Structure 1
Amino acid sequence: MTVIDVFNHNVPAESDFGYSQAIKSGDLIHVSGQLSLDEAGAFLHANDFAAQLKQTYANMDKVLDHYGVTRKQIVSQVLYAVDLQQNAAAMLEGNLAYFGDHRPVSTVLGITELTFPGQAIEISFVVDTKLPA
């Protein structure tokens, strides 16, 4: 029997929309799109891609910390970016800084809009807990 471990940031959107931030099922952790939210669930840094990316990575780290895993165990990520060409350099720089020499598979999608006005980035990812930390 597979044990399912659910994690939430306990922000209003989770109950309003009906989703979890992450679910660990077996050895994998599937993580919903993380974005630039504060502890109360308020959106931060409208129209500031670099600041949003920094906060998004901080929120990703909260999920990793909950499960006791590290960035090196992230096996895939999907990045959704508004104005992809305009923000590409900042996204590449931020991604390299976040992962260092670790290279998960990545898909980058340029899109027209995200949930919040001024939101420029959202990242979902999968973690394999069996990989070395």
Structure 2
Amino acid sequence: MSHDSADALIGSGDFEPRMRTTLGNLDRVLEHFGARRDQIVETTVLVRGLRDHFGTVARLHAAYCGDVEIGAAVRLDVDH
């Protein structure tokens, strides 16, 4: 998803611009469907070489998502 509106790859070889472009593209998709960031329920980030880019992913994802309500971060494990 790190392509601009003209389908050009952004930030070839530079991870941060690519991640920023991807998040910007997500904003455009949300806007197209009349949705907002605060309506996002869950995100999944798939990154090749996450070990090398974890800090950047964490920082940009946190900035994109903003404050998360504590209730939204709770995970319950239920024994069957």
- TM category, shorter: 0.7 to 0.9
Q: Deviation at 1:70?
A: 0.7
Structure 1 residue runs of 4 or more that deviate by more than 2 Å after TM superposition:
102-105
Q: Deviation at 1:93?
A: 0.2
Q: Deviation at 1:40?
A: 1.5
Q: Where does residue 56 of structure 1 map in the other structure? A: 22
Pairwise CA RMSD of aligned residues?
A: 1.6
User: How many percent identity over aligned positions?
Assistant: 31
Q: Distance in 2 between matches of 1:102 and 1:42?
A: 33
Q: Is the 8 A contact 1:36 1:56 kept in 2?
A: yes
Greater per-residue helix proportion:
2
SS in 2 for 1:57: helix
TM score, norm. by length of structure 2: 0.79
Greater per-residue strand proportion:
1
Q: Is the 8 A contact 1:71 1:99 kept in 2?
A: yes
Q: Distance in 2 between matches of 1:79 and 1:44?
A: 18
Q: Deviation at 1:53?
A: 0.8
Q: Larger relative CO (CA 8 A, sep 6+): 1 or 2?
A: 1
Q: Deviation at 1:43?
A: 1.3
Any stretches of 5+ residues in structure 1 without a counterpart?
Answer: 1-34, 106-133
How many residues are aligned here? 71
SS in 2 for 1:50: helix
Q: Is the 8 A contact 1:36 1:43 kept in 2?
A: yes
Q: Distance in 2 between matches of 1:37 and 1:52?
A: 8
Q: Deviation at 1:102?
A: 2.9
Q: Deviation at 1:68?
A: 1.4
